[in-house]
Copies of this chain bind each other. A is one copy, B any other.
Amino acid sequence: MTVFEDLESEVRSYCRNWPVVFDTAKGSRLTDVDGNVYLDFFGGAGALNYGHNPEALKKPLLDYMARDGITHGLDMYTVAKGEFLHTFQDKILAPRGLEYKVQFPGPTGANAVESALKLARKISGKEAMINFTNAFHGMTLGALSVTGNSMKRTGAGIPLVHATPMPYDNYFDGKMPDFMWFEKLLGDSGSGLNDPAAVIVETVQGEGGLNPARIEWLQGLDDLCKRKGLLLIVDDVQMGIGRTGPFFSFEIAGIKPDIVCISKSISGYGLPMALVLIKPEHDIWGPGEHNGTFRGNNPAFVTAAAAINEYWSDDALEKSTIAKGERVEEAFNKIAHDTPSTEMFAKGRGLARGLQFENAELGDKVAGEAFQRRLLLETAGPSDEVLKVLCPLTTTDDELDEGLAIIAESVRAATGS
């Protein structure tokens, strides 16, 4: 481990809480160099919805690489890309009645967000953006400007100035009608709000603390955008690809965003890949107006197509995700009930679940106890006050129970109850 401490920048973070060296991984398990096995409830921060190195994807991937399928293809037409597009169209877009053009930006969520913001500005001719309290959209300058976390924002080193935050759903515990402030500002030519190009939103805020927006709120936002002529961008980087149940997290609200950002689990194998989905009428990009060296990561296209075929040919995964999510919620409620000495409550949707502690310090403490018990877990929220479960959707019921039991123990250990 010395090599990391000697050579790696101080910017490293997760590894500080998990000071072991991992070697192999499969499904929901990681194994370190000493042969210790860990249960993974972090799931690559949402990038491993099908678990580590899923067998159904591994074979096509190895076959592709073995036969020297093109690896790096810039934005050239390739067989692998074509197959992904076909599969994505046939199995994902068409059945959901969604019409989108597909952009391959640089292979990260931040890059998808950067593209979406650029395109929204081009479409509208406006500069201002609306984001939401506790939003997280990425760390490059454009994505950071619509992100809420003050520590991360300060890191920009320049004032981040083109976005105005609006209250996310439930920010006032229901004490303020939805969009009252936002709509008043938009309707008042003296409000001082710069006329916005677009609204960027997560349907469930992951980094922000596993805050789910209600269906009515999402519908209300969609309706507001339509009435006021604002573009609606859904950042589905973390909540898409089945994390909350359906493939796209916004399906439950029956809305069709103008632009959708996709990344993390889209390749299915943890490989870097990202998409921007654009309503055809908004696809006004000029050729090469946004580009990047790694937007043609063909091994990722191979696994992405395989993953869709494997997991999205029926609704089994969606249903099991919802069921497992409820199982987590129940377990969290039980933990809360069994620990009267400390206030805590369950949050989230699907398998994006949080356990929020009134006492913010408990978040990291519980995660630390869990790691002692070989469960990988992270925290979220502005003060890391939410224990976050983003386990693979393919986590078995037994694994789920195992992990939940460790969490219960860890809470007991951390709270001394």
This chain: copies in complex: 4
- Contact status B107-A294, CB under 8 Å: yes
- For residue A378, which residue of chain B has the nearest CB? B74
Residues of B contacting A10 in the complex (Cβ-Cβ under 8 angstroms): 101, 283-287
Contact A167 B192 (CB under 8 A): no
- 1/0 per residue, CB under 8 A from B, across A136-175: the answer is 0011111101111111110111111111110100011001
For chain A, residues 37 to 60, give those with C-beta under 8 angstroms from any C-beta of chain B: 42, 44-48, 52-53, 58
Q: Is A145 within 8 A of B141, CB to CB?
A: yes
Interface of chain A, main secondary structure: loop
Q: How far is the CB of A399 from chain B (nearest CB, A)?
A: 17
Check if A148 sits within 8 Å of B191, measured CB to CB.
yes
Separation of A114 and B30 alpha carbons in the complex (Å): 31
Contact of A155 among B118, B146, B382 (CB under 8 A): B118
Given contacts A23-B79, A47-B294, A74-B44, whether A134 and B289 have CB atoms under 8 Å apart is no
Contact across chains for B61 and A65 when beta carbons are under 8 A apart: yes
Nearest Cβ distance between residue A297 and chain B, in whole angstroms?
Answer: 6
Q: Which residue of B lies closest to A78 (CB)?
A: B22
Q: What chain B residues lie within 8 Å of A71 (beta carbons)?
A: 25, 52-53, 269-271
| Complex contact A294–B272 (CB within 8 A) | yes
Contact A278 B9 (CB under 8 A): yes
Nearest CB on B from A308, distance (A): 14
Given contacts A106-B108, A287-B16, contact A148 B190 (CB under 8 A): yes
